[in-house]
Amino acid sequence: MDAYNDYTAIFLLLSPLFFYIVAVSFRLLDNSALLFLQKEILVDSSNVSLGAIKSQIDSSGDYQFKSKLKRALLYRKLHRVFIILMIASLPVTVVTYFTLFYS
């Protein structure tokens, strides 16, 4: 049973890091600012708002541009989901760590 606790502890200690790495990967895949600049749409920062992306999806007639924006929107939402998973897994990791090693 001791090996089970060790593997559980390793898994729980590394899960927030895993979620963070996946979230950063999805954030790097989100290239919405580049897409806007390629279409000569000026943006203030590299973090384009969700409203601006959605309005361009609705108003654009270019099918390829729309599909790229939808993909960027999906990456943005996946980034948010994995950040939430990372934050939610931190307290579980701390509690489990202390119950496994200090009981």
Q: Where are the domains of the chain?
A: 2-101
Q: Which of these, 22, 23, 26, 14, lies nearest to 90 by C-alpha position?
A: 14
Q: Evaluate if residue 103 carries a pLDDT over 80.
A: no
Half-sphere exposure of 2 (CA within 13 A, CB side): 0
- What pLDDT digit, counting tens, does each position of 1-50 carry? 576 777 877 888 889 999 999 999 999 988 888 888 877 787 777 778 88
Residue 102 burial by CB count (10 A; 0-12/13-18/19+): exposed, middle or buried?
exposed
pLDDT of residue 1: 52
pLDDT at 97 over 90: no
Report the pLDDT value the prediction gives residue 20, as an integer from 0 to 100.
Answer: 96
Residue 53 CB contacts under 8 Å (≥ 6 apart), including other chains: 32, 69, 72, 73, 76
pLDDT tens sequence across 17-26: 999 999 999 9
